[in-house]
Structure 1
Amino acid sequence: MYFTVFIVQCCFFVYASLNPYIFKELEIDTLTMSSINSGVALLQVFTSPLIGRLGDRYGARNLLIISVISSVSGQMVAFLATGISMLLLSKLLFVAQDVKLGAQMLTSDLVDGKDRGPAMGRIMVPFSLGLLAGPLIAGQSAKYLGNQWTLLAMATWTSSCLGIILYSVPEKTSKNNSDKQDSGSQRKTEKSTWSLVTTGRIPVLLAIKILTATASMVVAQNLVVVNMKEFGLSPARGGMVLAANGLLGVVFNVSLGKLSKRFDDDVLFKWSPAFCLLSYAIMTQASSVWILLVSFLPWNLGNVIIDAQVVARLTKSVPSSDTGSIIGINAMAFQAARIVAPLLGGCLVEVFGFSALGLFGATISSLALGLSFTF
């Protein structure tokens, strides 16, 4: 499963890295490209819970297969694209590509109790490695193959995941063998899918997710601009800063299991927004890129714990027949933050400077910290 997540995400980030250049080659303006990207992101807000429900009905294995098919078809259409209509179709085909959702659902089916949080964190390791490797592979492959032929190569590589999934991912899980055998109970649960967000402590968990995701995405999606304007970094040095941030995410995701063994999950979860608060406070004083790099340490630690713990607690708060739906709703919260973040962060940087991002993040993290202490 981990290798599948890495391949699919790596190939997706190759696609994402080359996408602007393909738009430029086809003489499509930046405004049109941005409008398409925003529209697709908005669509994903509404499709994420539906994809999660498909996972509940047909299983995590089939959801992973759908993700791979979606990725391959999107890359193939982009390879064949000769105009804006085919590029738009390519983007739409990628809507169902959410391999992380399928991997989280499979993990919730197979892992119980205290081990679920660290297991959710381990999923993010191949995801983060794919994020790091994708742009590097894109740059090197495009030199020799060209942009669109690189996408064909990535589509071929991604398609190999179908064999991996069929061979290594079990068709039957504990979830399949218990709750899903009762079709009447399942239909009853499906009728109340949209009421899941009001069940127990789920509203508080989702609020923490939305707050922290918005704060982190405001920073993450404006780091390129900050590196260029605030610190005067070249693209190469700016890329090194982004890579360092990504590597820290990998390290903390790998270390999450050890942290969970040493500290109680409730303690980690309650104090995780405090790590984010500390990082944003450091960002407000970041007069050099080295201070920015220091701020990435608590920033990654806090966000890694929050992401893993929120998903683990959400899946424990619902019947196993609804885990796909609640993971989809969690993904919807992230997609909503992803839509708001670029514009909000851009306005803050343009009007008030980089320190405003830190101040905004510190304020949001304070609210999340207050909510986390209700657990």
Structure 2
Amino acid sequence: MNTPRDNFTSNSAELLKRKSGAMSSFSVIDTGNEEVVRENYIKDKMDENNSVNFFGRHFNRFVMVTHINIFLYSCGFWIQLAVFPYLTKQLGADPVTFGYLQTTFAVVQLAGGPLFGRFGDLFGSRQAMMLAFASASVSYFLLFISSSIPLLFVSRLPSVFMHAMQAGQMIVTDVCSPSKRADALGKLGISYGVGMVVGPMIGGIVSRLFSIEKGALVACVLSLVSIVITFLYVPASVKKSAASQDSNIFSLSKILRLLRAPGAFFLLTIKMGTGVPMGIFQSMFSVVALERFQLPPDQNSYVMSYVGVMAMMVQGVGIGYVTKSFDQNRILAGSAMSLMLGYFMMTFASNMWHMCAVFIPLIVGLTFQNVVTTSALTRTVSSADTGAMLGLSMAVNSLIRSVSPTVGGYMLTRFGFESFGYLGCAVSAVITGVLFYRARKEEGHVVKP
């Protein structure tokens, strides 16, 4: 049964022929790239044909369903994250074992990210989203029935394909034109942020009224609900160009070819450079909050909510305005400068009020950097390979999470909390200089997100 998307795509050539005279008025990424003009036109028309009216505003129905799924995914993830430390302690895990569990999760996700992206390229974004939630439901159910530490480790293994945010980015990339992609990708963070606030609250209530394990069961049920929603409301469409590509899910040559795509390696390097200091800081923040700032659990929850709300504001309001007003290189340079300022302020922070001020430039810089690099990476390759490229982007995040706890623990013990600020400030200063140099060099020829 053909979806509206399928029907439109089959007639796109005729529509383009009739409207070719209007194409010069479209906002395009590269004025010499006719294929990009074509993609902008097709996806803008798809957006018109599949829009729904919600409180007087028009939204793409597939994007709306994706937001619902991302909210449910975030709720489930943060529910289990809230109960996981208490469950591990209940089963007798010491801090070292807990660290091993975190590392296991990060390594498994690192291995699965590129494979998941390739799966989405070959079989479609709906199947990828369903696979992500199936993996999540199995992982949460195993956590629910875990009665020993070995079972806790086993419960981490299905998370190899638990990449619902990546699947959501794939759907948005499929249905949104390049000119609207950065804003649409950024707004996914709003739904995730709402789940980040609601999830721990649900987990706490369930744990208090029933038991710690029941929180994991609730997360499992939410994941199963998302599978049904995805099956019913996301179109079962496979990318048209996928059939001509290598059909192997794992292809080292494909990964190397993606890394050689113009601009891809540079963007991934920037993502890695800005991500490492932040990953180290995030991995040690709970320890710093407890030992340096003596933050009780309830106040720690307030700080997390503050961070979540601020991130939602930046993603919901700031991304759309800034990406329309400035080019990619200048946004990246500005975000690196914002991170540099935040890390510099961190070196002087002596209480949690200071840290709340530090979070402002850090969140602004990191949010813009993540959204712009993700959007730009999807445009370095053809539409047939966007899933695999998003997988590489996610793999960078997983790699950072794999090494950050070890490096962060060593830095905190050996050099103190201030070392996080010194490292971040130095790295961000170098990246800022590189990006401003690149922006000046390419002025007049920059790519707009």
Q: TM-score range by the shorter chain?
A: over 0.9
User: Normalized against structure 2, the TM-score is what?
Assistant: 0.78
CA displacement at 1:366 relative to structure 2: 1.6
Other-structure match for 1:247: 309
CA displacement at 1:10 relative to structure 2: 1.2
Separation in 1, partners of 2:248, 2:406? 41
Query: 3-state DSSP class of the match of 2:237?
Result: coil
1:153 correspondence with 2:218: yes
140-149 or 240-249, larger mean C-alpha shift? 240-249
1:293 correspondence with 2:356: yes
Given that 2:111 and 2:160 are in contact with CA atoms closer than 8 Å, whether structure 1 keeps it comes out as: no
1:163 correspondence with 2:163: no
Separation in 2, partners of 1:320, 1:133? 35
CA displacement at 1:141 relative to structure 2: 1.1
Higher helix share: 1
Separation in 2, partners of 1:85, 1:229? 30
1:358 correspondence with 2:358: no
Given that 1:274 and 1:366 are in contact with CA atoms closer than 8 Å, whether structure 2 keeps it comes out as: yes
List per-residue Cα deviations over 1:56-108 (Å, max 9, x = no partner): 11111110000111111111122222223332221111221110110111111
Equivalent position amino acid for 1:347 in 2:
Y
Given that 2:190 and 2:316 are in contact with CA atoms closer than 8 Å, whether structure 1 keeps it comes out as: yes
Is the radius of gyration larger for structure 1 or structure 2?
A: 2
Separation in 2, partners of 1:100, 1:344? 26
Separation in 2, partners of 1:171, 1:92? 27
Equivalent position amino acid for 1:48 in 2:
G
Equivalent position amino acid for 1:340 in 2:
V
Other-structure match for 1:95: 160
CA displacement at 1:268 relative to structure 2: 1.6
Given that 1:7 and 1:130 are in contact with CA atoms closer than 8 Å, whether structure 2 keeps it comes out as: yes
Other-structure match for 2:365: 302
Given that 1:79 and 1:148 are in contact with CA atoms closer than 8 Å, whether structure 2 keeps it comes out as: yes
Separation in 1, partners of 2:358, 2:245? 48
Given that 2:330 and 2:435 are in contact with CA atoms closer than 8 Å, whether structure 1 keeps it comes out as: no
1:42 correspondence with 2:104: no
Other-structure match for 2:39: none
Matches within 5 A, 1:161-310: 161-172=226-237, 176-177=239-240, 179-180=241-242, 183-187=243-247, 191-255=253-317, 256-310=319-373
Q: What is the RMSD computed on CA atoms of the aligned residues?
A: 2.0
CA displacement at 1:240 relative to structure 2: 1.7
Query: 3-state DSSP class of the match of 2:93?
Result: coil
Matches within 5 A, 1:339-354: 339-354=402-417
Given that 1:7 and 1:161 are in contact with CA atoms closer than 8 Å, whether structure 2 keeps it comes out as: yes
List per-residue Cα deviations over 1:240-296 (Å, max 9, x = no partner): 222212221111111111222343444222321011111111111112322211111
Separation in 1, partners of 2:248, 2:211? 52
CA displacement at 1:213 relative to structure 2: 1.1
User: Normalized against structure 1, the TM-score is what?
Assistant: 0.93
1:121 correspondence with 2:181: no
Separation in 1, partners of 2:415, 2:149? 36
Q: Percent identity?
A: 24
Query: 3-state DSSP class of the match of 1:221?
Result: helix
Relative contact order higher in (CA < 8 Å, ≥ 6 apart): 1
Q: For 1:130, which of 195, 204, 218 is the aligned residue? A: 195
Number of equivalences = 370
Separation in 2, partners of 1:133, 1:10? 6
Given that 1:204 and 1:371 are in contact with CA atoms closer than 8 Å, whether structure 2 keeps it comes out as: no
- Residues 321 and 66 (structure 1 numbering): CA distance in 2 closer, same or farther, change over 3 Å? same
User: What are structure 1's unaligned runs of at least 5 residues?
Assistant: none
Equivalent position amino acid for 1:164 in 2:
I
